[in-house]
Structure 1
Amino acid sequence: MADDKLRLTQRLEKMAREQGFAAFGVAPAVLAPVTAQRLQDWLADGQHGDMIWMESRADERASPQSLWPDVRSVIMLGMSYTPARDPFALEDVSDHGRISVYAQGKDYHDVVKRALKHTARWLVENAGCQVKVFVDTAPVMEKPLAEAAGLGWQGKHTNLVSRDHGSWLFLGAIYTTLELESSVGGKDRCGSCSACQDICPTNAFPEPYRLDAGACISYLTIESKGPIPRQYRNAIGNHIYGCDDCLAVCPWNKFAETAAAHKAFLPRAELAAPALADLLAMDDTGFRKIFSGSPIKRSGRNRMVRNSLIAAGNSGDRSLVSSVTALLDDEDSVVRGSAVWALSQLDSVCFDREKGSRLPRETDADVRLEWQSV
């Protein structure tokens, strides 16, 4: 029986790799109690920002069997998106925005889920079991499960680190009613390294292995819907969607091979180095055209323009003043407020002139505050 399970697992891994997965392992359907406690402590400290859904289904996150009582094993899979280009290449190119590596190609939700379904279907057909597949959209703690399955370990930046793929893995899970032999779990190999903590522009790590989401550039530019807090705006620099800084400095990345990356995640030219002037000029139609098929499409035009305005304000590029000024009339109040701040950073004379005519007729309290804060 044990030999049969081993052979099934080996065949399953072969199938998974044919679907483009670079990492494979099996975890028991029970997480260590310390994982649930860490989640509860993180939520209690309010370090999840406005991600209220993290609270509402915390019990299901903490235990796979709370989400699905019939699950007996969790098959964890990783798909590589190791970048061929230095993620810091645009750091000093102030008139262009920086989009996180993972979002420069096709939407990973679609790519990974499609491969998961093919792999899970093979398992059902060959083992007669039940399965459920998950990619970052359900209350599943992928990173602790991936560590338990031996894909790597949860690093000090709270993301998974792999000996073979560095910090560049998309994770997917297959819950199954089969009782499979579990893989040897991952071992923390961060040691005394603090590179990911030291590089963070907004100091979003109060301590190793703990992230304050409300201070994280990825959260601020992707999840947060309102005005970006003033204390983080300058530190954001030209990040307009996500941030790779803590991932990109991980020393284990030196073992990651770009050849292992799934071809679907190759960067699209228009997303690898977008000009701020083009982004600031986008309407909804233009946004949908540029970001079709990208995970960025979920954020919507207003959030992307907001982020681009923060980058414009940090650019020192006065050629962007006319583009910024045009957005002072935007229908969206968060965009208008961000344009006020960007203009204040780029041209004080123009700012004072516009303030005199616009502040008296501005009805939104947050936008008025932006005018009055300078």
Structure 2
Amino acid sequence: MRRCDGGSTAGGLLERLGRPRAAPRARSGPAPGGAQPRGAGSRTGRQQGRPPPSEVTLPAIFQPAASLVALYGTPGHDEINPALVLALTTPLFFGMMFGDVGYGLVLLAATVAARRQLGQWTPVAVTCSLASAGFGLLCGSVFGVEHWLPAVWLRPVEEPFRLLAAALWAGVAFIFTTFVLKASTLFRQGRRLEACIGLPGGAGALAYAGAVLGVRALYAQQGVPLIAWGAVLAGTTTAALYAVLEIRAHGRSKMADLASDYFHLLLTLLTNTLSFLRLAAFAMSHAALSTALFLVLETIPQTPAWWAVRIPVLLLGATLILVLHTLVVAIQTIRLEFYEGLTRYYRGDGRPYRPLSFPARTPT
């Protein structure tokens, strides 16, 4: 069987960027002045059965995403750090669900004003605010008004099916990336066969790509292309071969575990893909909320005497839209990243590396 080469995959880039590495070993011998280092004991972490700590190194541009990764857990020494993926996809998801130039710039100004309170979350909020303003330019939306700017891409309310299709394709690309990351992680753990022909690795990615091509052809009322049939058949066949090899190696007790894992993976593939429809749903809900605010304003007379009522209603409504939609979209973005993404390829059960420190010597 031809051995797969992990260096040629996209996972190779991710291993070089933000790659957790085992922490350096402490020097042997007594500490300076005979002091016992803090955290050091008679038994090392390896002797206690714990994994070695990992030291995460990231380029400065990807440091903001490290805060999101830390919410889920520290990368293990044999895992790929997902900060690169989160740094790219988190602003993308947030901006697509909250695409508005006006609200995005207001959110950016609020982030800069509250940067001390936000602390390490300030860069994440800044990138999401800029993404919101950027998608607002693509959709031609300024504070919910869609006739001030031309739409470079589309208008969510006028082209909902096109927006839904874009959300689904974003989900397909994201889930396919998780297969690549899972296969790369399996390579790092020495499970090369599973990375190549296991369902969580290469075989699953092949079958998933074929299934997506087949569904797309059926939706377009075309015949399923031969390449789609071949990809699904090759993926399922190699996954079945891997299952047989595992059962022969570990006995029939492995059969129930594999059946449960494979069934859960196939079931979640469908639900995870459809879950990305929320990208389009919340984009359209933002337009609907803005329309509702404008309808309320139309019930107030436009005479100068009523401007004292119209202006507070407008400011209150816009503030409610900004606060509520920001909170909801932020929660949905984290959900997509964690549940649809990290749970598929990342454990996050590592231990952060903390250098040994020595107590200060008091002069005698």
TM-score, normalised by the number of residues in structure 1? 0.20
Structure with greater strand percent: 1
Whichever structure has more helix as a proportion of its residues is: 2
Rg: which structure is higher? Answer: 2
Query: Quick one: higher RCO (CA 8 Å, sep 6+), 1 or 2?
Result: 2
